[in-house]
A and B are shown apart, each in its own frame.
Chain A
Amino acid sequence: MAAQLFFMAKGIENIPFFLYHMYGQVHPRKDSTAVYLVKTKEGYFNHKKLSSREQEMLLNPVIYYANLKKDGDGTVETVENRFGSVAGAQTMAYLQKQLGNDSLSLTRFPGWWGNYFRLVSKDAFDSVSVVRSYVYSKAPYHKAAADSLSFTVKLR
């Protein structure tokens, strides 16, 4: 109980001490919401028809991948903060290798994503693209016309 309260006060989740603060914050009004979509030759693939688990595994890593490519995920800095003063250079290099993602992993990501997409979509597309777009917050909640390309993968 003490550990749970300690981690709650610090605001750090350390399982099994879970922090159940989802949807607790104020959600300010936004004019639009960013979304990632799968674009095929026949239009946008309806990933919302997949199960929650499949949707999670298909599109959350895309958000993570995009963040990693943009600014990194802060792991290197966190490792520095936590161990920088106590660990030697070799240990730090090992920790960063174990806890971070190198450029090879980033290069291989679209290929992995294509394999998982092929498994869950059960459709035979030649190639698909992952794009980022926006959905307006006003009814009827249309998608913005413009898409920005994240990556394209060949499936056959």
Chain B
Amino acid sequence: MARVVFGWLFAVLVYFFFNNSLLSQLQQPVLVYPGSDNTFWLLHILDVPQFLLYHYTAALAFDILLTCSCIICVVLPQQRLFTWISIIGVWILYIAYCSAAGKHYAQIGYLLAPIPFLALRAQKFDLLWNLFRYWVCFLYVSAGLYKLYYGGFGYDQNMSHILVQENAEWFIFNKTGLQHTVIGWLIQHPGFSQWLYRGAVLTDLALITGFFTRRFDKWLLAGLLAFHLGNLFLLHISFVEQSLIFAPFLPWQQWAERLQINNSDD
């Protein structure tokens, strides 16, 4: 299991590399954006993101250390030192990247999934893995509740307006094609598009079942996948980094039994 999750994390880092998003590839950004987040503030006061963003050699050493740690976690899942380094590394990468990009992103799956592997005993791992699962359920349920509370659910034109505003730049460069036709049609039919939005809210809220039972995990996984594919198609929101939130809904037990594996480290 550790091998799969850290292999997945490694794939995310490779994706970052090929998309010029590792710290050493950012060309030493000059602006920082700590926002009003206290954790960002703490790291900026300690000069951590600035040091990595402004010094190419430090950023390169950080990228190499993080990537190698991740590979070591795949090859030697029993050790804990590089698990710690990988986890601290991805959190620092997230904070430094968001600070340089001028926006704090919600794509956080790759930050949460490796945490349970810090556990030294199987019982503790099970507890942390369940907590990770509850954390994901909570985030999506809260997303659904926010859409109810802030009025997005009830406003009958909301999705249509979101589509117009979020696709404004995209429309300049994309004048034809299936995706253009679908997005354009949804904008012109606000009633239908708003029901898509409400469907997404119901998918978010459906994750509340994850707190009580694992029986519907495959449906929750399918719902999450459909939700993110919909976001990708209609709003161009990639979910490569976020994809690790699918991990707690995968049938690990069945796979382990099939492969006759007992230890979560394996």
Q: Please indicate whether A and B come from the same complex rather than being unrelated chains.
A: yes
- In whole angstroms, what is the CA distance A27 to B160 when docked? 9
**B31 at interface, CB cutoff 8 A:** yes
Task: Output the least CB separation between B97 and chain A (Å).
Answer: 8
Residue pair B152, A48 in contact (C-beta under 8 Å): no
* Cβ contacts under 8 Å, B112 to chain A: 16
- In whole angstroms, what is the CA distance A102 to B125 when docked? 46
Residue pair B34, A141 in contact (C-beta under 8 Å): no
Task: Tell me the nearest residue of chain B to A143, going by C-beta.
Answer: B172
**A124 at interface, CB cutoff 8 A:** no
Most chain A beta carbons < 10 A, residue from B37, B94, B95, B172: B172
**B65 at interface, CB cutoff 8 A:** no
- In whole angstroms, what is the CA distance A67 to B146 when docked? 27
**B29 at interface, CB cutoff 8 A:** yes
* Cβ contacts under 8 Å, B47 to chain A: 98
Given A30-B165, A56-B105, A61-B101, does the pair A20, B146 have CB atoms closer than 8 Å? yes
**A149 at interface, CB cutoff 8 A:** no
* Cβ contacts under 8 Å, A54 to chain B: 19-21
- In whole angstroms, what is the CA distance A67 to B48 when docked? 24
Residue pair B236, A48 in contact (C-beta under 8 Å): yes
Residue pair B31, A137 in contact (C-beta under 8 Å): no
Given A24-B150, A27-B162, does the pair A108, B45 have CB atoms closer than 8 Å? no
Q: Is the interface of B mostly helix, strand, loop or mixed?
A: helix
Task: Output the least CB separation between B29 and chain A (Å).
Answer: 6
* Cβ contacts under 8 Å, A35 to chain B: 168-169, 172
**A119 at interface, CB cutoff 8 A:** yes
Across the interface, A75 reaches (CB within 8 A) one of B19, B34, B143, B155, namely: B34
**B214 at interface, CB cutoff 8 A:** no
Residue pair B169, A99 in contact (C-beta under 8 Å): no
- In whole angstroms, what is the CA distance A120 to B102 when docked? 18
Residue pair B101, A29 in contact (C-beta under 8 Å): no
Task: Output the least CB separation between B195 and chain A (Å).
Answer: 15
- In whole angstroms, what is the CA distance A45 to B108 when docked? 30
Task: Tell me the nearest residue of chain B to A46, going by C-beta.
Answer: B173
Q: Which of B77-85, B134-142, B246-254 contacts A (4 or more CB under 8 A)?
A: B134-142
Across the interface, A99 reaches (CB within 8 A) one of B21, B45, B146, B149, namely: B45
**B171 at interface, CB cutoff 8 A:** yes
Across the interface, B146 reaches (CB within 8 A) one of A16, A21, A60, namely: A21
- In whole angstroms, what is the CA distance A51 to B102 when docked? 17
Q: Mark B220-243, 1 if CB is under 8 A from A, else 0.
A: 000000000000000011100000
Residue pair B26, A116 in contact (C-beta under 8 Å): yes
| 24 A-B contact pairs sorted by A residue (CB < 8 Å) | A23-B147, A25-B150, A27-B152, A27-B162, A29-B161, A30-B161, A33-B165, A33-B168, A37-B169, A48-B169, A48-B174, A53-B21, A54-B19, A54-B21, A65-B31, A68-B31, A98-B44, A112-B27, A115-B27, A116-B26, A135-B171, A139-B187, A141-B168, A141-B171
